[in-house]
Structure 1
Amino acid sequence: MNLLQKLRPAEGWFSLALLFLLLMITTMSLQAAEWADGMSVLSSVTIMGIIVGWLFAKSRYVGFFLHPFAIILGIMWIGYSALPLTGISGSWVDQVSALILRPLIWLFDIQAGNVNGDTLPFVLLMGGLMWLISYGAIWDFFRARHIWGVLIPSALTVLINTYYAREDLIILLVLYVLVAFLLIVLSNLLDNQQRWRREEISYSRDIQVDFLRDGALLALFVIGMAWLMPATIDHAAVNPTLTRLTSPWGRAQQEWNRFFGTLNYRATGSGAYFDESLTFSGNLVRGEELVMYVRADAGRYWRVLVRDLYTGAGWTLSDDEIVAGPAAEQPIEGDTPVVDRGRIAVDQRYTIFRPAGTQLIAAGEPLMATVDLRLRRDVAPATEGGVEPIQLFARNPLFQGQSYRVTSAMPNVDEEMLRAAGTDYPVDLLEHYTDLPESLSPRVGELATSVTGGAETPYDQAKKIEAYLRTFPYNEGIAGPQPGEDGVEYFLFREKEGYCDYYASAMAVMLRTLGVPARIASGYSQGSLMENGSYEVRQRNAHTWVEVYFPELGWIEFEPTAAEQTLDRPLSLQGQFGPDSSEEGLSSALNDNDEMLSEMEDLRGDAGLENDGATDQPGQRDLFAWVPTMNWRALVPYLSAVVGLALLGVIGWAALQQRWRGLGLVEKLYDQLRLFGRALGQKADPSLTPHEYASKVGAQVPPAASTLSHVADLFTRQRFSTTPTLDPEEEAAMSEEWITARKQLMRRLAQRIAPLPSPADEIDSDDEAWQRPR
């Protein structure tokens, strides 16, 4: 017995091939998402995991001893495969050192609450995941006979990857589901076959083909039905409950994005969630989905959160504690007064179509809201004992279509007031909002000093830096900084182009080098003004800008991004805002909500019926938006059927090859005769001789009757003659004769499946119709 026969699984080679296909689809799904450079190493990791799993499953040793050894082998192979990803061309010792040090540096940064843009740890993590999945799947199938241990890890991987990937991977998901169905069917059949053999119950040799065929058809049916069903439940009474249940997942996402902020994430589709951390990355992708409608008398930006701690790799929050806030319609306790700060009360109404858990949106400095609040506080408020929120949360998750109102203090200043604000900053605020990492190069400060030469006030310094940065070309397709490279230095001195995250970060950091308190804010730009006076805000309006502190005036917004409209301060305040700049104005803004509420409810109803595109409707995803002129979605069931039929053909061919393994030519031909006979309704009766059975089949296909009789003659001779073997000439003649007969058998089989009426039938039908009473 040779090695291949020893290693042959009892379940058959086809089961191994099907499992190999399932695991490679999982790997291809991760690679096609293009999360990071170097994902190509996953192929070799998966294949080696399959080989090790297969060898260990065939071993006589128990898993208690084999599994630790498999983990060690996996670590060694993943490390070996990832050596080229270190980018070091030196000796293998240098490469191994980098392979160890880079994940350790990443881990130390994460533990310190910082962000790190190195993607190598992510690739290593995915390599470990695929090793465990592939090794575990082979072991569970061939040793433990546990099909769900095979499917659950890989299924979760494919589903999560498909949902969050920026590329459309639905075809790989469909293929995965199809192969998974076949594996379930095959596993169940193998278990039954084992029981039947134990109980000495006879069964057909080609039963595997029947089961796999029916399993594939069932899988295609389920896939087609799933495609046609609604994607989500949109009832307002149900969505809050579902959102509340997914809140822990949202927090896990937030931590994940802090760990791996530079991956190639997709444009957010199901929500508009902003993470605590912002990590400098490369190519930016923003969707077109409708996020919200906003009704407000003033406001350039709709803010979600403020980030205050610069790390070089991005921004994060110095304190992420969330505390209880006031109830609905109650002012935030301890908040600074509106009047006497160059600010004014402005009321905003938000109608949300892409909720982001409990995150709320508010312009300027929020004072109160119509929902119960939780909030993050500024760790260095301008006034002692003040509670200045940098982010608002609702106590309960928002649902799609929900409206709420926020009253905020908005800047109401001109250039003269800003120039006269001076530099009498609160000590804690100045120290906190001018803090920079020690690793920042001095040339950033030198550039800031050079750009602001001649500026006498912080406002003039800010305007000069803003104007300078707006000369940089706007580009969402940049490569992003290298691991360990400072993002602002990358933008200012190497790439010299980028998008809003880079513009805002560069301005805030340059101002901090000059001793001017600055921070970045994230949320949405104003959006498109509609005829009814509301703003339509889509995902493409997601934005980051700069806020600079001015004594007695508070945080003032600046716009350094070249692609955005310039934010110019008025020379005169008269007519700048609608509401009155007084306490009476605040009271009026807080109490005149009935009319706006009615208008926004009408707006919400109109939006649900008259959205301008399918992507604005809840629960839908336009997976084929790249070809808007074709209804590709309607073609998916047909494409799935074509793929399924092709896969069925491959499965059938492989099953037949397995069935005929070790048989001679005559035995193969007689077995084909039996299969055709069964398909034509002629079951093989054990009491019939080969000649009698061939005659029954030949009666249904007269043109092939002589060939079928010849096959029966040869089969009888093979089994019972003293000289059973055929000479080469006889085999060649028989093969050629069978080809002609097989065509006639297939033609008859096609007529049986889809019968065509004969001319006589048509004439009889016409006569019957003519003679029918009218």
Structure 2
Amino acid sequence: MGVAHCRPRQGGAGAQTARYRLEETGMNAPAFRLIRWLARRFGAETLLQWSLLWLALGVIMAGLARMVPAVRQAGAFWILLLGVGTGCLLARGRWRGWLAAPAAMLIGALGLLLTTGRLAKPTGAVLLALMTVLRQGKEGLPLLSERWGDFLDHLATLMSRFALWFQVARSGNVILDPLVTALLWGMGLWLMTVWAAWWMQRRSAALTALLPALAVLAFVGYYTGTRDAYLYLALAGGALVLLQGLGGYRQALQRWVRARLDRADIEGELAFAVVGLAVLLMTTGGLLPSISLREIAERIQDMLEARRNEELARSLGLEQTPVAAGARRSGGTMRTETLLIQGAPQLSQTVILYVQVAGYQPLPPAARLYGHVRDTAPRYYWRAQTFERYNGRGWTSLYATEEAFAAGESLWPQEGATPPGLQRTYQTVERLTGDDVLVFAGTLVSVNQPYHVWWRAAGDMVEAHSEAQRYEVTTLLPDVTVAQLRQAGTEYPPGIVTRYLQLPENLPSRVRDVALDLTALQPTPYDKAVAIETYLRGFPYDETAPAPPPNRDAVDYFLFDLQRGYCNYYATAMVVLARAAGLPARLVTGYSSGIFDEASHRFVVVAANAHAWAEIYFPGIGWVEFEPTAALAPIERPLGEASLASSVPVPQPMERGGSPQAILRRVWLARLRRYSGWLALGVLALVGLYRLLAYGWLYLLPPSQTLRVLYRRLYRLGQRFGIRLTAGGTPHEFAARLSARLRPSWPFAPLQAAFEADLHRLTELYARVLYAPRPLNRREQRAAVHLWLRLRHRLRALRRA
């Protein structure tokens, strides 16, 4: 920026003073002009104070966004901006803390419900329908009723998800709902910023203002074990030290002025000490991540028994940093398989598999032609391998152990009757490729040939191998209805949560936003999965789609740039979006059904049937396939209480209900419909109560005292427009000066005339209080309050303009 130098300037009567003058042209840039204007408008010390507060809160927000997936950088920025502004406005007003706190919570809750809760669209639809009623009268009422019903339906869904989250969290279990988690974290950040701004504006108490936010950052950093947490704490702590030093200096100046003492010339020494301490703290924090504090943390944990309520922390989106992978291996050898999205696949019509499923006999042609019976071969997905870790470019699968099984030996020693919701099938597979990877449909139970299984963890199979080219397998296929999937709930096993909700830290935030947009108003995990599946099926299928560019996330590229692709793109996008919505999901590779050959009663699978699809985990059921690829037909599932294809009894849905989510949603919808009128009256009552608390007390004063209070407030508003009180000035003179100052600012003459008329009437009443012997009556007191309210509204509107 160049060098700033000082040059003496001649003063009056030959006196010389030295003043720093910046002469570089770079200092005339818009940013510096803005800084100079702010310094002149608010004062350099005030500007520095609020800049340091912004720095501290910004560092804390960035740290939380780094450690908590539910906190987004963009959302945290807007919360910081609006929260500080709201806290300043509330603190500058005459509201006491007990009244400002619920006001801040209400403002934050409404803003988060409209944005993060995705209620802005249904709310806008209600407002547009209301405008239609105002224009068209009764003809617009049906539209308003429909839009209002949609709004209540969405609100009931949101409230039911909140109720379920609190119910499960209170019971000590883990519940994964990214929308509720994002709303809770957003509310926490909002309250922290409003609190900090309030205390800085009212008391200039830096420590009290930042202590809650620092405590949250410290706890999250300790719980998650993020090494960068020390750096964020040190930077925020350094800003706090600077704020404390600046605040102490300003308070000392005020004491010196009140005591009429000479100001001590210690600015240089004080600045050196405070800045030096802050720099030391920040530097120490920067070095701490390279120092191992694991033993200290573990000892503190043992003493304080922290991390006791891990279920609640995980429900809030907090995950502890795992120890090194090598420390978790118990026997066996770690292996890795990789699936990258590498561009258009080159597939042929060469036959690679013959699969025969026992028990399925197609109808004879005569029955299909003359009996008017539709016969469709069952749809199967021949799985080969599952993948669990997404890295932005593709998938990897970690093998923990390999286990050998004899021919006919079952993978499940405790095997007995077929579990409810599953169907036992027997498949005969003939391979023509010489590959040793076993291909089958469903969950593997046993093979009639010697085989090996690679396990990811106990009960979590990656793939199976056998050298036999012809083999028979026994498997379990899900045979459930839509009602049962909606009833499954969210009580996921811990291992499923740990492995199948993984997402890379650098996943673009707009990908997570798409997931929340699609699922925010869906009541059950199954409905969320279907919403994601339906959305992806709207993208055109294209086998010539290119690979993602270097340094680009594959899902982000597919959703926002490419917007076409083949099965690897579709399946990857569905798994990532499902995980971002809190649904455990994995990617599976293998083959689609192929063509059913009626002559040989078997499926013929060619190389072009190679496929990738998504599977979602449902508690009590297991992994269920979903088909997001637009080139294949969607998977049809029975809607009723049981599947006709199953010979095994399945649990019936809950009477008059179904899933807990559906029951809670109906309960909240009924409550909202029943009490929506009372809710509107309650809002009006709150508005009336606010007006009573803010202005009603003026009616309890004597009329003369009311006029003094009102005109004193008018004096303060006038000072904001540059109208200063003069010694011996009269109310009429003040009113004349105010009218003259504002006259060029009015956009319309009628507004100016109305304002000046109200100002003249209020001034006349106040002059009577000061000079006339006849007192005011209660009717004139009420008129004065109404005049003041109109004047205040117009003055504030004019000042904002």
TM-score by length of 1: 0.37
TM-score by length of 2: 0.36
